Amino acid sequence: MEILVAVIGLAGALLAAFAAGALIRRLRDEPEGWLIAWTVAAVAVCLSLGVIAVGYLMGFGPVTFRLYQVTGSMLAPLWLAVGMIQLLAERVPPRFLAWLMGIALTIVAGTIMIFDPLKSTEMGKVLPAGSALWQTVPVGYLLIGVHAIAVLIMLAMAVVAALKWRSGDEYDTDNLHASLVIVPSGIALVGAMRFTVPPLFTTVLLAVAGAAIWYVVLRPLAPYEDDDEDDFDERQEAPVRQESPMPVGERVPRGRRAVPEPVPAADLPPAPPRRPTGLGDLVAEYRAGDQQVDYAARMVPPADAGPATGYIMNGAPPQQAPPQPQAPPQPQGAPPQRADRGMPSQRADYAMPPTPPPPGPATGMLYSGSDLFSPPQPQPQQQAGGGKPSPNIYGLLTVFTIMDGAGEAFDRLAEATVEAVRRGEPDTLVYACHAVKSAPLQRIVYELYRDEVAYRDHQRQPHVERFVNERQSMVLATNVIELNVNAAKVVPLPTVMF
């Protein structure tokens, strides 16, 4: 019988070692809490079974007995229970409390079990029972408490897994499958350690616990293989714990969405010409990880975009053109030239005065496409040197991360604020709210002001104070970026006519 128990213990130790190795390899790609906890449990089961095999071959002593009890009776069931919490809990507080409890009990109980004196040190080649050698106080009651906590946690987590499975997805089905394997084996292990059972039965239950850990890692909790693009699209809407790019065909961690492997540009079909839509799409592409885009080229309008319909006015309305210089004397017989554009005319001083700006706030968008067909006008001298914006222009880019379910309310509030800014803030040059296609819970507000004084005036407006106050309950995080405008082109945005 001793040889049979030693063989079973050695085989179970090898099985638990394989399970621990699989968990450790998985941890390099997935630093998940349940993997860490069950790695501790698998190592504890491996050491406990190894001690049993050595003890039945060479005899037990105080060191081997303590190691067997610390690993098999205390660490294995405790960290199986902690791993169940890490697997099924979706919030940080229960996971943190599970870590705190597991580490505290491991340190306190392990120290007491290592240094507490035994009732007897005479042991043979038969697995000794813990109740026959441990003092009732404190080790006896301490192990009772650890076992009771482990059993209660595993039963509660089994119920949680069943409730999640009733209205969940394939992740919850796999979690229930894993719970139905780990929970019975963990409770049976506690019963074998708590009550007097034959040594062969205790050894077999320890080996079953190691096999259960190995099974759930290789089967129900194995990484998903997202080889089918349709499956990937269907799982886009499923709740996930973490979003990190993982290549298709690789080991995809549970709870993480797989992002398809980028296709080389040479293999892609030619895309239809696209007109750039402004800063919002650029920021969305950057946050989505598409950092290979030539953003400078994206800001250049294509050749078929049509005539330019807007001019940068350097934050101020256009002034009357200065008096045109007197045309130099023309040679006799040469036709007179106009002073504005060099076109033939009867007199050089007949140049038409500049058209006054239309009524309304100066927003940097003062001309439409119809002006291209008006009579030629003289160009102000201040534009001859280039169109660089005023260095006093003040800009901001604010990225809001809104709470789930608050998108419509935030958009309504932002729309009302933009309308109030348009009507009552002539020194606000641009005030636009963008939605991010790749991140539905993010909004980007882009602001340009004539100068910093105009920005301070903007902050004191009632509609801005209302926007700041009412968005507090909708916004989870805010990131503000101050901007310097080096170059720009501003045109009137197309609007929908109702």
Are 463 and 422 within 8 A, CB to CB? Answer: no
- pLDDT at residue number 270: 58
pLDDT of 26 higher than 60: yes
Cα dihedral 408, 279, 271, 246 in deg (nearest 10): -70
Q: What is the pLDDT of residues 412-434, one digit of tens each?
A: 999 999 999 999 899 999 999 99
Contacts of 414 (CB under 8 A, 6+ apart): 433, 443, 445, 467
- pLDDT at residue number 129: 85
CA-to-CA separations, 147 to 33, 132, 142, 187, in angstroms, rounded? 21, 17, 9, 9
SS3 content of the chain, % helix, strand, coil (to 5): 55, 10, 40
pLDDT band (50, 70, 90) for residue 287: very low
User: Which amino acid, residue 345?
Assistant: S
- pLDDT at residue number 323: 53
Secondary structure class of 436 (helix, strand, coil): strand
Q: Which of 133, 138, 143 is nearest to 61 (CA)?
A: 133
Is the backbone of residue 141 left (phi > 0), alpha (psi -120 to 50) or beta? alpha
- pLDDT at residue number 182: 96
Q: What is the pLDDT of residues 183-240, one digit of tens each?
A: 999 999 999 998 888 999 999 999 999 999 999 999 999 886 644 444 444 444 444 4
Two structure tokens written together for 210 = 């190691």
Strand duo 439-449 + 394-402: pairing:
antiparallel
In the block, residue with structure tokens 């128990």: 5
User: Which amino acid, residue 187?
Assistant: I
- In angstroms, rounded to a whole number, what is the distance separating the alpha carbons of residues 435 and 340? 45
- In angstroms, rounded to a whole number, what is the distance separating the alpha carbons of residues 83 and 33? 7
407 vs 373 pLDDT, higher one: 407
Q: What is the pLDDT of residues 324-345, one digit of tens each?
A: 555 455 555 544 444 444 444 4
Q: What is the pLDDT of residues 468-486, one digit of tens each?
A: 999 988 999 999 998 888 8
Calculate Rg over the CA atoms of the chain. Answer: 37
pLDDT of 374 higher than 50: no
- pLDDT at residue number 179: 95
pLDDT of 263 higher than 60: no
Mean pLDDT of 342-360: 45
Q: Report the mean per-residue pLDDT for the chain.
A: 76
Instruction: Find the largest Cα–Cα distance for the chain.
Output: 133
Is the backbone of residue 83 left (phi > 0), alpha (psi -120 to 50) or beta? alpha
- In angstroms, rounded to a whole number, what is the distance separating the alpha carbons of residues 324 and 349? 8
pLDDT of 361 higher than 50: no
In the block, residue with structure tokens 């192990």: 143
Residues in the chain: 498
Two structure tokens written together for 206 = 């320890």
- In angstroms, rounded to a whole number, what is the distance separating the alpha carbons of residues 211 and 12? 8
- pLDDT at residue number 178: 95
- In angstroms, rounded to a whole number, what is the distance separating the alpha carbons of residues 260 and 142? 51
Backbone angles phi, psi at 46, to 5 degrees: -60, -45
Proportion of the chain above pLDDT 70, given as a percent: 66
Contacts of 309 (CB under 8 A, 6+ apart): 367, 368, 369, 491, 492
Up-side HSE of residue 129: CA atoms within 13 Å toward CB?
10
Structural domains in the chain plus CATH codes: 1-218 (1.20.1070.10), 394-484 (3.30.70.100)
Backbone angles phi, psi at 401, to 5 degrees: -105, 110
Q: What is the pLDDT of residues 83-137, one digit of tens each?
A: 999 999 989 999 999 999 999 999 999 999 999 999 888 888 888 888 888 888 8
Contacts of 419 (CB under 8 A, 6+ apart): none
User: Which amino acid, residue 263?
Assistant: V
CA-to-CA separations, 214 to 21, 207, 208, in angstroms, rounded? 9, 11, 10
Cα dihedral 465, 467, 468, 469 in deg (nearest 10): 80
pLDDT of 388 higher than 90: no
- pLDDT at residue number 137: 80
Residue 259 burial (10 A CB sphere; 0-12, 13-18, 19+): middle
pLDDT band (50, 70, 90) for residue 140: confident
Are 489 and 312 within 8 A, CB to CB? Answer: yes
In the block, residue with structure tokens 């916004």: 475
- pLDDT at residue number 224: 67
- In angstroms, rounded to a whole number, what is the distance separating the alpha carbons of residues 471 and 419? 17
